[in-house]
């Protein structure tokens, strides 16, 4: 640098280097890790799934964009979080959901689940689950319309968890059906009735494995969540104590999707490792209790939403001990 | 399990730029600028006036207060002016300009001391004080004060971690002046009168660990060369003590409260130079580096040499320079000009090219918890950041801002590009 040469220097606070990570990269990575489960669902339930996913993703994006325009804010579409919410909502819907309902769900998820709280980072509840629960309580019939896998003529069949519940609670409405008609392999591959994104366990696990290896999610919530459900259903879900078919309970319903992709949402979960373990155990307990004795056959969404509300409290009680503090 | 502390993160080191470059003597500058404050504490008081002739090593400003440090001329020549000049840490500081006579005649007081093994503790401390030695790791706390702790201590740790990316000056010193460093350690050990002596080196510098261990064995010394997990900020004093001794320095206290004194390895070497060669601290080794430079190097430069001369010596490449940083990339200070002198605390000059800058738009916190995971002080950086953003500084008090060591790791890992450490620094200023 010569004296006469003008130099233009940036002066700012250290650090002067930064990780390559960004919010958008995180959101899109999770998005792409969910894709395999979506592809399998098209194979199992037909093209309707694709239209539902597209509708959900695009209408979530549309709602996000619209809210930015109305708030006269710079568009936050690029961070990818709205699209991820849309996809997660789609994964939580039955395979033949009408598209107007999908749009409504996405709209509610983004607007009431996120924007009204102040946008990304400020929401208390997982937006996709807010959308789903809104639809479950508003359109109970449509939200429990489960087509049979590989059926062309929209034959419906109850989900394995509904069959289990029927037998467990002694209602015996579906007495001609048995949970034993599903092999573990069927359940593992996703050949059963259920929501679009929840059925194929192997596809979900492969995506989740990538997220774990790359450090986008930590093992704490999934392991404690799934572990709690396993132990709880092993103890209580059988006719007598300690006889429950816990593998069935892990493979059914939205547990894997919820534990790896929804309970691990950064914004609505606790931040410390200890907090995450508590959060996961809480989710597992509530899920199991709803599954066994609640009014719904499946409780993953409700358990995560309830624990979302508890997350600030958990954070408060699991504050790490500051280095060198005696307390 | 390798010794370490909790939190922290392994960073890309960029050390290969200058790792294998032996220390070169930087040519004698035509002029040096010597600020009166190059240390923590009271400014030194000027002993010379404009027009005075000085020699290399002549004391030109004296420490009159307890916590202060004298300044020595780093070249021989004439005092040309004593005015305010740009300063890499303080922005501006009263400084003594010396124009070189090109001869580099040494002050007659600089002679080899042969009997230094017999000096008493107080004599050694006096030599260290009068040589103007301060911590060369960056903080620049007067060494004579540090070596005279107010309470009994039992351990002495030599900080040879150099965990900042890019910097290699300590690493090169360990390879090139191994035995002098050990002699320096023995001197300080005598001053402190301790038995437990450790040299902490990160495991990614196996060469340095090997040469130090070999030399320790050769001289049959009771010094433990400890290999530490490569993780930033391993070289932070509190984290180093935790890793080596398993002790946590109590919150708000100093290392001697945990019975430890920590000194940087370059400081130890300057103690040796001051005692054995009676050479005051008028030069130091710095790493001049960055991809923006064609010839990054490890240079022995006279204190007061201008950044721009050093940068020109290392040849700026074709990419435009966007940042000049004194120190490393994690805690170094970005400068507004290159017309600055090297001071005692300058461990490196880092130049970043335009495409290496990290000015990103700050996004909302997504509570991912990365900052909590890496914080070496186990704070909740995101919470401090949110408090500062909302200007709720009183609320921030509950999250222990004063325990923050400002290592910058939270800001480094934040995917939302939040300027967390900047906000914590602001919080500290407001709450003080």
- The verdict on B238 touching A (C-beta cutoff 8 Å) is yes
Structure tokens at B379: 């704070």
- The verdict on B249 touching A (C-beta cutoff 8 Å) is yes
Per-residue pLDDT of chain A (327 residues; tens, 9 = 90+): 444 456 688 888 889 999 989 999 999 999 999 999 999 999 999 999 999 999 999 999 999 999 999 999 999 999 999 999 999 999 999 998 999 999 999 999 999 999 999 999 999 999 999 999 999 999 999 998 888 888 766 677 788 888 888 878 776 666 666 666 788 898 899 988 899 999 999 999 999 999 999 999 999 999 999 999 999 999 998 878 888 889 999 999 999 999 999 999 999 999 999 999 999 999 999 999 999 998 888 899 999 999 999 999 999 999 999 999 876
Per-residue pLDDT of chain B (432 residues; tens, 9 = 90+): 678 899 999 999 899 999 999 999 999 999 999 999 999 999 999 999 999 999 999 999 999 998 999 999 999 999 999 999 999 999 999 999 999 999 999 999 999 988 888 899 999 999 999 999 999 987 899 999 999 999 999 999 999 999 999 999 999 999 999 999 999 999 999 999 999 999 999 999 999 999 999 999 999 999 999 999 999 999 999 999 999 999 999 999 999 999 999 999 999 999 999 999 999 999 999 999 999 899 999 999 999 999 999 999 999 988 888 899 999 999 999 999 999 999 999 999 999 988 776 677 889 999 999 999 999 999 999 999 999 999 999 999 999 999 999 999 999 999 999 999 999 999 999 998
Pick B415's closest partner by Cβ from A3, A21, A326.
Answer: A21
Q: What is the CATH number of domain B283-356?
A: 3.10.20.600
SS3 labels along chain B: CCECCCCCECCCCCHHHCCCCCCEECCCCCEEEEECCCCCCECCEECCCCCCEECECCEEEECCCCCECCEECCCCEEEEEEEEEEECCCEEEEEEEEEECCCCCECCCCCCCCCHHHCCHHHHHHHHHHCCCECCCCCCCEHHHHCCCCCCCCEEEEECCCCCCCCCHHHHHHHHCHHHHHHHHHHHHHHHCCCEEEEEEECCCHHHHHHHHHHHHHCCCCCEEEEECCCECCCCHHHHHHHHHCCCCCCCCCHHHHCEEEEEHHHHHHHHHHHHCCCCCCEEEEEEECCCECCCEEEEEECCCEHHHHHHHCCECCCCEEEEEECCCCCCEECCCCCCECCCCCCEEEEEEHHHCCCCCCCCCCCCCHHHHHCCCCCCHHHHHHHHHCCCHHHHHHHCHHHCCCCCHHHHHCCCCCCHHHHHHHHHHHHC
CA distances from B352 to A198, A254, B232, B420 (A): 48, 49, 20, 21
Global pTM?
A: 0.93
Residues 6 or more apart from B277 whose CB is under 8 A from it? B110, B112, B113
Pick B250's closest partner by Cβ from A25, A119, A324.
Answer: A324
What ipTM was assigned to the predicted interfaces of this complex? 0.91
Q: What kind of architecture, by CATH, is found in domain B27-100?
A: Beta Barrel (2.40)
Residues of B within 8 A of A2 (CB-CB) are: 312
Q: Which of residues 157-186 of B touch A (CB under 8 A)?
A: 165
**pLDDT one-digit tens code per residue, B404-420:** 999 999 999 999 999 99
Cβ–Cβ below 8 Å for B365 and A121: yes
- The verdict on B350 touching A (C-beta cutoff 8 Å) is yes
Pick A272's closest partner by Cβ from B332, B335, B372.
Answer: B372
Q: How do the domains of chain B map onto residue ranges?
A: 27-100, 111-276, 283-356, 370-431
What pLDDT sits at residue A2?
Answer: 47
Q: Which of residues 95-114 of B touch A (CB under 8 A)?
A: none
Q: Is A101 left (phi over 0), alpha (psi -120 to 50) or beta?
A: alpha
CATH superfamily to which B111-276 belongs: NADH-ubiquinone oxidoreductase 51kDa subunit (3.40.50.11540)
What pLDDT sits at residue B54?
Answer: 96
Measure in Å the smallest separation between the Cα of B106 and chain A Cα atoms: 31
CA distances from B272 to B131, B178, B377 (A): 11, 12, 33
Pick A267's closest partner by Cβ from B352, B363, B367.
Answer: B367
| A and B: number of Cβ contacts within 8 A | 160
């Amino acid at each position: 640098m010569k004296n006469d040469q003008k130099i233009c220097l940036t002066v700012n606070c250290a650090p002067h280097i930064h990780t390559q990570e960004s919010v958008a990269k995180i959101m899109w990575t999770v998005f792409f890790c969910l894709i395999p489960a979506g592809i399998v669902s098209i194979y199992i339930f037909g093209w309707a799934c694709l239209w539902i996913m597209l509708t959900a993703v695009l209408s979530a994006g549309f709602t996000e964009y619209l809210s930015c325009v109305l708030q006269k804010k710079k568009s936050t579409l690029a961070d990818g979080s709205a699209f991820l919410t849309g996809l997660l909502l789609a994964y939580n819907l039955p395979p033949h959901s009408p598209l107007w309902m999908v749009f409504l769900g996405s709209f509610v998820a983004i607007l009431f689940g996120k924007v009204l709280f102040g946008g990304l980072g400020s929401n208390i509840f997982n937006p996709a689950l807010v959308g789903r629960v809104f639809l479950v309580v508003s359109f109970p019939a449509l939200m429990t319309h489960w087509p049979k896998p590989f059926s062309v003529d929209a034959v419906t069949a109850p989900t394995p968890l509904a069959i289990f519940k029927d037998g467990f609670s002694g209602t015996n409405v579906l007495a001609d059906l048995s949970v034993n008609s599903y092999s573990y392999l069927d359940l593992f591959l996703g050949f059963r009735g259920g929501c679009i994104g929840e059925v194929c366990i192997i596809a979900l696990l492969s995506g989740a494995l990538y997220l774990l290896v790359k450090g986008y999610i930590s093992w704490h919530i999934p392991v404690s969540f799934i572990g709690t459900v396993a132990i709880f259903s092993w103890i209580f879900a059988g006719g007598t104590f300690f006889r429950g078919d816990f593998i069935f309970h892990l493979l059914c319903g939205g547990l894997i999707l919820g534990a790896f992709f929804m309970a691990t949402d950064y914004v609505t979960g606790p931040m410390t490792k200890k907090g995450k373990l508590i959060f996961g155990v809480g989710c597992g307990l509530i899920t199991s209790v709803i599954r066994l004795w609640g009014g719904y056959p499946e409780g993953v969404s409700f358990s995560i939403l309830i624990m979302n509300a508890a997350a600030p409290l958990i954070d408060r009680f699991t504050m790490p001990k500051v280095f060198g503090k005696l307390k | 399990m390798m010794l370490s502390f909790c939190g922290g993160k392994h960073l890309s080191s960029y050390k290969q730029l200058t790792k294998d470059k032996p220390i070169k003597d930087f040519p004698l500058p035509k002029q040096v600028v010597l600020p009166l404050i190059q240390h923590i504490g009271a400014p030194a008081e000027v002993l010379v006036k404009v027009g005075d002739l000085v020699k290399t090593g002549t004391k030109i400003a004296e420490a009159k207060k307890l916590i202060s440090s004298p300044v020595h001329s780093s070249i021989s020549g004439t005092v040309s002016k004593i005015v305010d000049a740009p300063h890499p840490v303080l922005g501006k500081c009263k400084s003594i300009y010396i124009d070189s006579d090109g001869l580099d005649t040494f002050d007659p007081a600089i002679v080899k001391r042969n009997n230094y093994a017999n000096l008493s503790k107080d004599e050694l401390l006096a030599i260290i004080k009068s040589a103007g030695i301060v911590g060369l790791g960056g903080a620049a706390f007067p060494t004579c004060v540090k070596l005279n702790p107010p309470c009994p201590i039992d351990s002495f740790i030599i900080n040879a971690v150099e965990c900042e990316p890019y910097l290699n000056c300590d690493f090169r010193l360990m390879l090139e002046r191994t035995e002098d460093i050990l002699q320096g350690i023995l001197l300080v050990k005598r001053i402190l009168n301790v038995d437990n002596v450790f040299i902490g080196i990160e495991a990614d510098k196996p060469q340095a660990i090997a040469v130090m261990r070999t030399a320790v064995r050769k001289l049959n010394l009771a010094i433990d060369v400890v290999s530490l997990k490569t993780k930033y900020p391993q070289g932070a004093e509190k984290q180093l003590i935790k890793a080596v001794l398993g002790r946590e320095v109590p919150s708000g206290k100093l290392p001697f409260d945990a019975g430890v004194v920590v000194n940087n390895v370059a400081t130890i070497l300057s103690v040796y130079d001051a005692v054995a060669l009676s050479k005051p601290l008028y030069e130091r080794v710095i790493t001049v580096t960055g991809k923006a430079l064609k010839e990054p190097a490890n240079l022995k430069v006279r204190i007061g040499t201008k950044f721009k001369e050093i940068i020109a010596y290392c040849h700026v490449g074709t990419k435009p320079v966007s940042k000049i940083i004194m120190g490393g990339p994690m805690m170094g200070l970005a400068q507004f000009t290159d017309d600055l002198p090297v001071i005692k605390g300058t461990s490196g000059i880092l130049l970043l090219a335009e495409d290496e800058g990290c000015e990103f738009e700050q996004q909302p916190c997504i509570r991912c918890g990365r900052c909590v995971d890496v914080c070496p002080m186990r704070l909740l950086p995101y919470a401090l950041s949110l408090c500062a953003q909302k200007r709720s500084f009183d609320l921030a008090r509950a999250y222990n801002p004063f325990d923050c060591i400002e290592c910058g790791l939270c800001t480094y890992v934040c995917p939302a590009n939040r300027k967390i450490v900047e906000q914590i620094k602001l919080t500290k200023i407001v709450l003080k």
